Amino acid sequence: MIRTDQTSLAPPPLPPRLGRSQPILIPAQLSPPAHNNKPLIQFLAGVVMLHFFLSIGGFFYLFYKDKTVLLDNSPSADKRVGYLPTTQQEASSLALARMVIEPRSHTEKEEKSSGLLKWEKNSFRKNINSYKNSWLTILEPGNYYVYSRVTFSKGHPKLPLASRVMLRESETGEEKIVMKAYCSLNSNSISSSSESLLDPHMCTATQMELLTLKKGNQLSVWVQDLSVVDYEEEATTFGMYKL
């Protein structure tokens, strides 16, 4: 016989009553405080403003820099007070010349009447003009290193073998000697020239000098007898360059 008054089973729960709502518990999400995002927003705003001002500053810097470069390269830039030319501009204004002897085409009359050597028209010149193929005209005043090399292929029975560099103030100025050199074809004499030792029938008169020249000055090379000069290109030359 089963006793119903003693059992370990709990009684069933009572059913909910109709018409009465039961609360539903849903855990609410906790939102972070609003003040936690404020420093991040301020930092981003600062970065944006800094980038903006740097862009504007860089634009104005490049604009004024380009404007200054254009003014410095203008033709009137060297007229401004305190203007100093750059190394490249100084190098581009250097004056120099290397003249090559013109092939012999003189008549006997020309050889007797003039002792000035003539130079090739296509010889290298920069900021120096050529006048009548014999004179070099200075365009920039200053100190010039001037050199001359004249080779003689034969001697003269009465006159010494000499070359002279002549200077005149202008085209109509009086000529004067500023450089002079001699050489001898005597094979018995002691000479420091290697060309004279190798060939006693030729000698070279070489001269070099530092001259202070003015604008408009003219230089040329003169010999007593053009018929005794060696007209090979590298044997007889004349040139100068500004220091």
Could you report the per-residue pLDDT of 181-237, keeping only the tens digit for each? 999 886 544 444 444 344 457 899 999 999 999 999 999 999 988 988 999 878 999
Does residue 174 carry a pLDDT above 70? yes
Q: Mean pLDDT for the chain?
A: 76
Rounded (to 5) percent helix, strand, coil in the chain: 25, 30, 45
DSSP-derived 3-state class of residue 220: strand
Does residue 60 carry a pLDDT above 90? no
The edge-to-edge listing of strands for the beta sheet with 218-223 is 128-131, 135-138, 218-223, 161-168, 176-183
Higher pLDDT among residues 144 and 25, named by residue: 144
pLDDT in tens, 146-158: 999 999 988 877 7
End-to-end CA distance of the chain: 141
49-63, 107-121, 125-139, 169-183: the lowest-pLDDT one: 107-121
Q: What is the pLDDT of residue 147?
A: 96
Token reading at 239:
């040139």
Q: How far apart are CA 3 and CA 16, in angstroms?
A: 30
Higher pLDDT among residues 21 and 144, named by residue: 144
pLDDT in tens, 74-110: 545 444 434 445 454 455 468 999 999 998 764 444 5
Does residue 25 carry a pLDDT above 90? no
* pTM check: above 0.85: no
Higher pLDDT among residues 21 and 222, named by residue: 222
Best mean pLDDT range from 18-22, 31-35, 63-67: 63-67
Domains of the chain: residue spans and CATH: 95-242 (2.60.120.40)
Q: How far apart are CA 60 and CA 62, in angstroms?
A: 6
Confidence category of residue 32, pLDDT binned at 50, 70, 90: low
